[in-house]
Amino acid sequence: MSVFADKCKDIAFNVVDVNKERIAAWNNNDLSKLPIFEPGLDKIIQRCRGINLTFSSDVHKAISEADIIFISVNTPTKTKGIGAGKASNLKWVESCARQISEYAKGHTIVVEKSTLPVRTGQVIKGILESSKISSNSTKPTPTFDVLSNPEFLAEGTAINDLLFPDRVLIGGDNKQALDVLGEIYKNWVPKEKIIYTNLWSSELAKLTANAFLAQRISSINSISALCEVTGADVREVSRAIGKDSRIGSKFLASGPGFGGSCFKKDILNLVYLANYFGLPEVGRFWEGVVELNSWNQSRLTKLILENLFGNLTDKKIGILGFAFKANTNDTRESPAIVICKNLLNEGAILRINDPKVDRNQIANDLETPPDQQNQKNDNLDYSYQKKSWQKMDLNRNFFEGIDAVVVLTEWESYSKIDWIEAAKSMRSPGWVFDTRSIVDTRKVSEAGLNLWRVGDGVLNEQRKRI
């Protein structure tokens, strides 16, 4: 909505949320304290906030004043009940629709921005329609159009993705409403990039796009494991297949597995839908993408264990990166969570570095209780049921006495580490496990450290010869 506000100066954008603390953070004068870290976002907020972009908790007022309402609440995977573990929990979507139905005035276009299971538009329509039946005769009956306008931005590149989208997708059945939303985008998006479809195609296209992207990552990670045992190099394989214009070169970087709030959730949702509609073969096909991803994460732990003589008890391991990818402070479904938990369970002592993720977030994710007395100090030890970790800055102390470094997020700073200096402090034989292919391999070997790199069968062959 910040990018919308920046590009459409004659439209007022009111962002509302029931969470008052979150709204206060969005209104914070200190732009480094915004709730989300996203490169370039602070500058846009600075330009628009208080002019045509406001943040407030007065949800009902904003609904009654709005011509268009974007529902942008989260739709996590259900944890209990029918479809638990796969289906989306739509309670927040329903709650929004109910409030809109109660407080909207005149004609309102309701836009699904959240990623939703196919045919959720029907549910929203049903709830909105109910206001016609229940409204008393003194109040003019509000009317609604429902559109689907899924968001394809990726974290870390969100501003650029919004400014220069590959396409904008708008689904619905009323041409007038489709045009109203299309015209807003035309303020900065070329009209040939705006695609209009029916509501269901739009909803399904969003799930499908994420499923295809995630599938590419599982595909390349499966080949990566094969490269490691055959003497091939996954970077070379990616380059070779990526030159085929039918395949394309993007999303072929092998790594620790996909994370983030969308891929797993959306695929599981697709699986649920396929099974619900009596297509178990389709469900199983997509479920395999998630299974491969989980397997990939557990195989990395095993590799570390095997190379460190089958024993991690009391060994110190440095973890570089906790966010699910670089340029974000988001840790949802981050491979680092599973891998760190596995290493802690093996008795390792972890030193965790991430330029943007704070210690409390790591404590939540690793399910270790927060240290009440020393909340402000980032460099303190956690010991919990013999499992311990600490968050540390990336300085000499980080490398002091450690047996191995595991690179889990592709932060640029990690590609510039002076391994010769680092090796001086590490315990011998020191190891570097690079799951993102970003470390300077020459420097690591010059430093006399052992290197394991994802999908690098050539390195494995060399090691066997030694």
Site residues (vs ligand UDX, CB under 6 A): 151-155, 210, 213, 217, 251-253, 255, 258-260, 262-263, 324-325
* Dihedral pair phi/psi, residue 73, rounded to 5°: -90, 165
Least CB distance to ligand UDX at residue 65 (A): 29
Which one, 100 or 204, has the nearer CB to ligand UDX? 204
First vs last C-alpha separation in the chain: 57
Cis peptide bond prior to 370, omega within 30° of 0: no
Which one, 154 or 380, has the nearer CB to ligand UDX? 154
Contact 182, 109 (CB under 8 A): no
Contact 69, 103 (CB under 8 A): no
Which one, 194 or 426, has the nearer CB to ligand UDX? 194
Q: What tokens were used for 62?
A: 């904003």
Which one, 53 or 262, has the nearer CB to ligand UDX? 262
Residue type for position 107: H
d(CA 402, CA 387) in angstroms, rounded, equals 16
Least CB distance to ligand UDX at residue 85 (A): 20
Least CB distance to ligand UDX at residue 233 (A): 16
How far is CA 214 from each of CA 35, 101, 248, 371, 434, rounded to the nearest angstrom? 27, 36, 15, 36, 21
Q: Which of 8, 227, 262, 340 is catalytic?
A: 262
Least CB distance to ligand UDX at residue 254 (A): 7
- What contacts 413, CB < 8 A, 6 or more positions away? 355, 394
Helix (H) or strand (E) holding 54: strand 53-56
d(CA 20, CA 31) in angstroms, rounded, equals 17
User: Which residue in 51, 66, 62 sits closest to 8, CA to CA?
Assistant: 51
Q: Cα angle at 12 between 119 and 45, to 5 degrees?
A: 95
Which one, 155 or 287, has the nearer CB to ligand UDX? 155
Which one, 142 or 259, has the nearer CB to ligand UDX? 259
Task: Determine whether 262 is an active site residue.
Answer: yes
Q: Count of CB atoms within 10 A of residue 9's CB?
A: 12
Place of tokens 């953070």: 25
Contact 340, 368 (CB under 8 A): no
d(CA 185, CA 366) in angstroms, rounded, equals 41
Least CB distance to ligand UDX at residue 105 (A): 32
Least CB distance to ligand UDX at residue 72 (A): 12
Q: What tokens were used for 199?
A: 């509501």
Which one, 205 or 422, has the nearer CB to ligand UDX? 205
Least CB distance to ligand UDX at residue 263 (A): 6
Q: Count of CB atoms within 10 A of residue 309's CB?
A: 10
Question: Helix 120-134 crosses helix 199-230 at what angle (to 10 degrees)?
Answer: 150
Looking at the annotation, which residues are catalytic? 262
